[in-house]
Amino acid sequence: MDFTYNNRELSWLAFNERVLQEAQDRSVPLLSRLQFLGIFSNNQDEFFKVRIANLMRLCRARRQQRLTGGYTPAELLAEVSRRAERAQGLFTQTYHELLHEMEQQGIFVVDERHLSPEQREFCRDYFATVVSPRLVPLMLRKSVRIPFLPDGNAYLGVRMSSNDGKAPRYAVIRIPVSSACPRFVVLPAREGRSEVIFLDDIIRLMIDDVFFMFTYDHISVHTFKIMRDAELSIDDDVSKSLFERIAEGVESRRYGLPIRLIYDREMPVDLLDMLAGKLKLTAPGTLAPGDRYHLMKDLMRFPKVRPDLLTVNPAPLQHCDIIPFQSILKVVRKRDIFFNFPYHSFQHFIDFLREAAIDPRVERIAITLYRTAEHSKVINALVNAAKNGKQVSVLVELKARFDEEQNIEYTDLLQREGVKVIYAIEDLKVHSKIVLVERRESSGVRGYAYIGTGNFNEDTARIYGDFGLLTSHKGIVEDVRNVFQFLSNSHKQFKYKHLLVSPYYMREAFEELIDRETRNARKGRRAYIYAKCNSLTDERTIERLYRAAREGVEVRLIVRGACCLRPSVPGMSDRIRAISIVDKYLEHARLFIFCNDGEERIYIGSADWMSRNLDRRVEVCTPILDRQIQRLLRRVFDIQWSDNVKARDLADQTGNSYVKALPGEAPLRSQTALYDYYAGMLSR
């Protein structure tokens, strides 16, 4: 094995195990721990549908290339499966421990076998009015092809048998979860108790009513779920637009090959064989026995029966530079504004767009959209701007994984409302988070730009930690204008004076910034690199960081997810320390700080240090030129680096050991400390 790098897949699994640690942490409120189990389960499902599906494709290839860490695809698939199985066992153990703790708090998850007469009657009524109209039982026959079963759902496999020796009947029922028919139903219960039942068990209770037309002596019902390959295939038919081809690709992905069947281990063998045969799942590792319930991502939406047992996030703060109901553009004309969501209210960004939409002097608004909220205020503001006669250009990234369908719908809506929609470049995913506003003023047209690290999504902005810069700096605005020119005409290349823009210039710029620190260290000058990102997997960047560290550069890394760099290895990365912070907010911001011989260079933006971000995406990072904001960002990094409550030491990715407070050092939870820091700025 090659021990120079951590394998990306194994490092990502270590990250999701850190999410699982939050579910085990008794300092986290009880029902929030249950939600972390749901997050873990959702993450694990997406990992299998994307990364494991890719590994399986590599295993089918004739040539078995070596992957990061020295694994062959088959070796890595076996190791990933082993680690995932171990984590799933820990998930199950944690889930049952939480159920026990919930019972001590008067919260009970009951099944159809443990209902009071009153609860049984409630379930019958609920089934008749809410559930039954949504059920579509599918009968299975050996000689008939199985109806298509989409992934993303939990199913009930049903076996009906008689004592007369006739062959059993088999059926499948999709559990019809929706906002109107949730996975968990609160039952009438005695005072002082809360009782909740899975929707699965209400259907089990009423299963005889579902199959009343059949005669049988025994019926068994077992939950299962299917995972399908989530790869999006886009055909190369030049007679169709990119929009049409992606829409067709999203539709065809629904029919992606099944890669895994997870089933109740109590399921009868003949029913399992029927399902596996119909789905053509015969390869080793494609059948995974589990507990009674599946699709546990629904735990994220467990009923809030005891709000006192949930994490209460403090209300987002008013930005100290913004006065309510006064012009944001007027402030930006005087100075840059830095946002740190969710500590600052994302409503400020919405207000910025709304102001631009109705300001009679604003002539143009351009924006890139990657993931947006289901009922997006951002989309509404853009539509309003178009109705007010502004020239509105929106680049919608149709290839944003798992958001393609919603982005297609928003594209259609925007076009109907008169917004000019630019489709992303076919071979490049546009991941940058930028906005350009042009306003006619007495001195001519003035530009305002926003460059951020996170999506323009008011829902996720409440729980994602992100940065954003709002500026009227002429050089940065001109660079942002050129990025939009490039997106409109990908054949035209631009040189950028301030921004780091991939796929053409960002890698070289970061490499030069790292190399400069290396040269300064060789000369005996102080040299350091402090970086915060979601993932660090690009081997060229890692090699440069190793080289810099060997020459004496101090490297501090805060990496939430996959980290292929191995810190604190004698002779290779002694001067590199790396931590990961997993807490109530998802750490999503990207920040890069270079000593630069005492004249710090600081950047924020949308790019991680991953090959795909540097070479195959359009990403934008902006320098922070305002001295006050530079000092603020250094303080933000220092606070997070000092976390000794929720930080894990990435030198130990298999154990995910916590960074411990030194003797005499007070506990510091960085997300709480950051909120207090920004709140303190308001009182100055």
Catalytic residues, by residue number, are 431
Helix/strand/coil for 55: helix
Q: Which secondary-structure segment (H or E) carries 539?
A: helix 539-550
Angle of helix 627-641 relative to helix 670-682, nearest 10 degrees?
Answer: 150
Residues 6+ apart with CB under 8 A from 544: 511, 514, 515, 518
What's the rounded Cα separation, in Å, for the pair 488 and 231? 27
Residue 63 structure tokens: 């040539």
Tell me the CA end-to-end span of the chain in Å, nearest whole number: 56
Partnered with residue 301 across adjacent β-strands are none
* Sign of CA pseudo-dihedral 343, 348, 353, 356: negative
Residues 6+ apart with CB under 8 A from 155: 149, 172, 173, 174, 175, 223, 224, 225, 226
Residue 146 structure tokens: 């199985």
Q: How many CB atoms lie within 10 A of CB 332?
A: 22
Closest CA to 494 of 510, 507, 480, 508: 480
Q: Which residues of 193-232 are buried (b: 16+ CB within 10 A; e: fewer)?
A: ebbbbbbbbbbbbbbeebbeeeebeebbbbbbbbbbbbeb
Helix/strand/coil for 661: coil
DSSP E strand boundaries for 295-356: 337-341
Q: Which residue has the tokens 């805060």?
A: 558
